[in-house]
Amino acid sequence: MAGAKRPIRVLVAKPGLDGHDRGAKVVAAALRDAGMEVIYTGLHQTPEMIAQAAIQEDVDVVGLSILSGAHLTLFPRVRKLLSEAGRDDVLVTGGGIIPPEDMEALQRQGIGKLFGPGTPTSELVRYIEEWAAEHVSA
């Protein structure tokens, strides 16, 4: 592609005490296969560690994988920390075991689309690419 735009930069993180990261690794691999630059932070990250890594790595998107049930606390905390750092431009999205009513509540708080177990990775890739087409400059 002549004059290709830079790749979309995505930080994939596992906040909290949840020790299962197979899904996060599958998502990271799918995003990488789609041509995105992916930084995976590993397990047991605090919202502060995630926000700091997102700022240091100058990412466009933060994808949180949460299976612990703490999504109503963790997603807004990461969003708030990024906003406080002047990075309202970062998309905070993700997935996990999140009831539909909680997904709606989080989206009202500025969190992007959230994905449940079994969602095809192509759906997540398409969502991020469409978001980036509107929000990320070359």
Summarised one tens digit per residue, pLDDT across range 70-127 is: 999 999 999 999 999 999 999 999 999 999 999 999 999 999 999 998 999 999 999 9
Summarised one tens digit per residue, pLDDT across range 43-71 is: 999 999 999 999 999 999 999 999 999 99
In 3D, which of 8, 1, 4 has the Cα closest to residue 124?
8
pTM here? 0.95
**CATH of segment(s) 9-135:** 3.40.50.280
What pLDDT sits at residue 1?
A: 45
Residue with tokens 């949840």: 18
Domain boundaries, the chain: 9-135
